[in-house]
């Protein structure tokens, strides 16, 4: 435990990076995933096919492979970004596929009668999606989205493999110096657990507040 206390400053900075990656990538994944869901339920075959291909690609390709590809291949293609930015972008597009699947399951909970009523009132498709479908779908899948965010927190540790100094990377560096793996990595594990529990509790409270009575 003393090893953690002696290196508290760099560990806290690394924890801040982990939290920042989670928040930014999570927000981007939520927006992108919702757009992918809209494309999947749209009446345009091209959009449905593209959204389906997007989801299938990212849920079947390892995140580590995507991170390595982005870090080493994108510069060769002329697209150079800071490592942290690259990690955030990759995590966002990766987790967006899981967000899309979660939101699509929420769309399936909407009674068909509501969609028919919306069309009977003269609402156009964009209005039906914006006013009826998306709000109800998001309210129905708060807990699954919370689980996606928890997975994002855990997946952010893979950013260490491409040189991002987040919590896992900082803990590993401290262990190389202090050579006390049990207290150091146990402490890091407790931090990740605390973040996951906080997300889970927050999702549970939000779910109760926005629950739809059928």
- Reply yes or no on whether the pLDDT at 90 is more than 90: yes
Give residue 214's pLDDT.
54
Give residue 50's pLDDT.
94
- Reply yes or no on whether the pLDDT at 81 is more than 90: no
Neighbours of 171 (CB within 10 A): 26
Specify whether the CB–CB gap between 160 and 174 falls below 8 A.
Answer: no
> What is d(CA 72, CA 156) in angstroms, rounded to the nearest whole number?
18
Give residue 2's pLDDT.
65
Q: Which residues of 63-98 are buried (b: 16+ CB within 10 A; e: fewer)?
A: beebbeebbeeeeeeeeeeeebebbbbbbbbbbbbb
pTM for the model: 0.88
Give residue 3's pLDDT.
63
Task: List the one residue out of 9, 59, 11 whose CA is nearest residue 187.
Answer: 11
Give residue 186's pLDDT.
86
Lowest mean pLDDT, pick from 99-103, 116-120, 157-161: 116-120
Instruction: Tell me what the pLDDT averaged over the chain comes to.
Output: 86
């Amino acid at each position: 435990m003393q090893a953690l206390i002696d290196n508290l400053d760099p560990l806290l900075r690394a924890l801040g990076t982990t939290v920042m990656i989670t928040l930014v990538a999570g927000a981007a994944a939520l927006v992108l995933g919702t757009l992918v869901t809209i494309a999947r339920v749209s009446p345009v075959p091209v959009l449905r096919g593209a959204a389906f291909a997007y989801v299938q690609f990212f849920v079947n390709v390892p995140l580590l492979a995507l991170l390595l590809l982005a870090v080493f291949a994108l510069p060769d293609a002329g697209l150079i970004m800071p490592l942290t930015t690259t990690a955030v972008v990759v995590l966002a597009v990766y987790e967006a596929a899981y967000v899309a699947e979660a939101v699509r399951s929420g769309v399936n909970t909407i009674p068909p009668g509501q969609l028919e009523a919306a069309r009977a009132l003269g609402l156009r498709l964009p209005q039906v999606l914006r006013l009826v479908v998306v709000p109800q779908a998001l309210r129905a899948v708060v807990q699954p989205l919370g689980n996606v965010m928890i997975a994002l927190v855990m997946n952010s540790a893979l950013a260490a493999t491409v040189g991002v100094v987040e919590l896992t990377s900082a803990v590993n560096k401290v262990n190389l110096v202090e050579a006390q793996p049990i207290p150091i990595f146990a402490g890091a594990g407790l931090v990740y657990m605390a973040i996951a529990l906080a997300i889970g509790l927050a999702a549970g409270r939000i779910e109760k507040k926005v629950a739809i009575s059928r």
